[in-house]
Amino acid sequence: MAISEMAPLIVEKAKKIKLLILDVDGVLTDGKLFFDNQGNEYKSFHAQDGHGIKLLRQTGVEIAVISGRKSPVVELRMNNLGIRHVYQGHEDKRAAFAEIIAKMALSVEQAAYVGDDLLDLPIMRRVGLSVAVDDANPIVKHYADWCTPRCGGQGAVREVCDLIMQAQGHFDDIVNAYLQ
């Protein structure tokens, strides 16, 4: 979605973002949980989300993950993306959120959060920019500042990264670097 199509309030909020916090299941993945007979867990992550995260980090915006579940697969993927702030097993995400904000010495207005379910609402209600993926719970969508056109695990995180980069004036330079 082009920045010109965005509500001015969303763009203003996105300009202030220095930290993007993501839920995992239903945001970075499609929310499906796969287990084999030995109890190994499998998740699918969208490559466009990963590339968007890497590009956004290049602009100086930090990324964090807060998940209600624990998974070695998540740890592996976040390490691959260079995400240092990974909090797993936090069904009540408020303490992890407070710790991240304090560590980074940011105001809550400088943080954005992307969620899809009720566990995400306490953080979504505190941050400067709250985002719900297209297939989020309807109540979560109601409380979000913006809803992505794409579903979780299908490039929704990339849309958020692109929005922030556009609002902060970095997007054209990033695209032009690929056109050289």
Domain boundaries, the chain: 3-174
What is the pTM (predicted TM-score) of this model?
Answer: 0.95
pLDDT digits (tens, 9 = 90+) for 41-80: 889 999 999 999 999 999 999 999 999 999 999 999 999 9
Closest by Cα among 115, 111, 131, 30 to 68? 115
Domain 3-174 fold is: Rossmann fold (3.40.50)
pLDDT digits (tens, 9 = 90+) for 106-145: 999 999 999 999 999 999 999 999 999 999 999 999 999 9
